[in-house]
Structures are given as C-alpha cells and as structure tokens.
C-alpha cells in the first residue's frame, strides 16, 4: 500500500514517479474506493452547503431613494392591474372577473394589461400581490364605496410599514399601517355576485 509520504509531492519528477507501477495502481485504488476519508469530505461539503442556506443573507438595506423608486414602480403596476380589471368589466356588462384564483383573474384581464410582469411583487420583504376575491363576479355598479374598496393589494407590508393598494375606482397608493387597518375591513364585506353571463 502507498505510504502517506507519497501524497506530498514537490516536483514534476515525483509526480511522474507517483504514477509508475506499482504506485499507480495503489493511487488509483484510493481514488476509486469510497474510503472513510472521502465520505468525511463529502459530508463536510454537504454541511457547509446547508449552513450557507440557513445563515442570513445580510442584504444591504435600500436607500430612501431606491425605496422611493421601487414604490413608484409598484404603484404603477397595481394601478395598471386595476385599470385592466375596470376595462374587462366595461366589456362584460360591468361584471368583475370570475376568478376564482389569481391566475384565473390574470388570464381574464391579460388582453387589457398585455403583460404579466406587472403582477410581479416588488416588495423587498417578499410579499405577494393579491386580489379581493369577494368581488369576483360582482357588478361594479353595485359597489357602494369604490374609492374605499380595495381590489389589488400587497399581502405584506414594505420595510417602512406601508403597502400598495389599488381601489375599485381606479386610484392606487401606498397606505400606512393605520390606513390599512381601516381599508382591510372592506375585504370582509360581502357583495351579491352576478356570475358569468350565459349566451
């Protein structure tokens, strides 16, 4: 069997000597055989990879200017989504999309928004844009307070505690935590559904 000293090579001549018989055969056996050392190396690599996924990423906080730019884009996106819903309703006897899921609503309003990228959530805290599903299949003319009734909103607050909200009258803005407490109550309101129009 090859000795430990043979694993420390200082020159090309020694490397060439290492791969001459009988040392070549012994060395190749070490490489091919799943020894305890190789198992330990593999286990260490897996442990390091797992620890890397568990450790915090330490992302650099956004500057006020960066956050303001991101919020401006997010407001534009949810406003475009809401306007797409309004245009859909206008062409469908004022009835809101049926849904029932967000992907279904997006499919229904896609001809009006022309892009799914505006549905991408920009929240640095990792939120998700959501819809007011209580308005699915509802006649938009029967909504008593369209300026206060939300339809598109972020599921999580942003780093500054605000979140983007689009309302059924078409306007959109970032609301503070206090404002959202009031607005979110409208998500619990029930509206009589018209349902899909049958030919």
Q: Are 129 and 155 contained in the same domain?
A: yes
Q: Is residue 125 part of a domain?
A: yes
Number of CB atoms found within 10 A of residue 196's CB: 10
Q: Are 126 and 91 contained in the same domain?
A: yes
Q: Are 136 and 177 contained in the same domain?
A: yes
Q: Are 87 and 27 contained in the same domain?
A: no
Is it the case that residue 182 has pLDDT exceeding 80? Answer: yes
Q: Are 48 and 71 contained in the same domain?
A: no
Is it the case that residue 138 has pLDDT exceeding 50? Answer: yes
144: confidence class by pLDDT, cuts 50, 70, 90: very high
Mean pLDDT of the chain: 81
Between 9 and 150, the higher pLDDT residue: 150
Number of CB atoms found within 10 A of residue 136's CB: 19
Q: Is residue 1 part of a domain?
A: no
Predicted confidence at residue 62, as pLDDT, reads 85
Rg (CA), the chain: 30
Q: Is the dihedral of CA 64, 67, 69, 71 positive or negative?
A: negative
Residue found under tokens 């260490």: 44
Rounded Cα distance, 125 and 148, in Å: 25
Q: Give the model confidence (pLDDT) of 93-113 as tens digits.
A: 999 999 889 999 999 999 999
Predicted confidence at residue 2, as pLDDT, reads 46
Q: Indicate yes or no: pTM above 0.75.
A: no
Q: Are 36 and 114 contained in the same domain?
A: no
Residue range of the domain that includes 20: 9-54
Q: Is residue 180 part of a domain?
A: yes
Q: Got the DSSP string for 67-119?
A: HHHHHHHHHHHHHHHHHHHHHHHHTTTTBPP--SSHHHHHHHHHHHH--SGGG
Q: Are 72 and 161 contained in the same domain?
A: yes
198: confidence class by pLDDT, cuts 50, 70, 90: very low
Q: Is residue 2 part of a domain?
A: no
Dihedrals phi, psi of 46, to nearest 5 degrees: -65, -40
Q: Which residues pair with 129 in a beta bridge?
A: 154
Least confident of 13-27, 36-50, 151-165, 184-198: 13-27
Is it the case that residue 4 has pLDDT exceeding 60? Answer: no
Q: Are 101 and 21 contained in the same domain?
A: no
Q: Are 167 and 102 contained in the same domain?
A: yes
Predicted confidence at residue 160, as pLDDT, reads 95
Q: How many domains does the chain have?
A: 2
Q: Are 77 and 44 contained in the same domain?
A: no
Q: Are 88 and 41 contained in the same domain?
A: no
Q: Are 121 and 147 contained in the same domain?
A: yes
Q: Is residue 59 part of a domain?
A: no
Query: Average pLDDT of 137-162?
Result: 96
Predicted confidence at residue 25, as pLDDT, reads 61
């Amino acid at each position: 069997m090859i000795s430990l000293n043979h694993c420390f090579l200082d020159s090309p001549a020694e490397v060439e000597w290492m791969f001459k018989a009988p040392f070549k055969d012994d060395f190749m056996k070490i490489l091919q055989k799943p020894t305890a050392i190789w198992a330990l190396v593999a286990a260490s690599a897996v442990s390091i990879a797992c620890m890397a996924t568990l450790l915090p990423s330490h992302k650099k906080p956004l500057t006020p200017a960066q956050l303001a730019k991101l919020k401006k884009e997010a407001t534009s996106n949810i406003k475009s989504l809401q306007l797409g819903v309004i245009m859909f309703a206008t062409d469908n006897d004022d009835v809101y999309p049926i849904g029932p899921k967000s992907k279904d609503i997006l499919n229904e309003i896609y001809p009006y928004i022309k892009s799914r990228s505006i549905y991408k959530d920009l929240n640095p805290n990792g939120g998700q844009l959501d819809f007011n599903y209580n308005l699915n299949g509802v006649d938009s003319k029967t909504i008593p307070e369209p300026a206060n009734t939300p339809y598109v909103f972020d599921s999580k607050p942003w780093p500054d505690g605000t979140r983007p909200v689009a309302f059924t009258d078409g306007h959109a803005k970032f609301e503070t935590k206090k404002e959202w407490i009031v607005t979110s109550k409208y998500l619990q309101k029930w509206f009589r559904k018209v349902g899909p129009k049958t030919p």
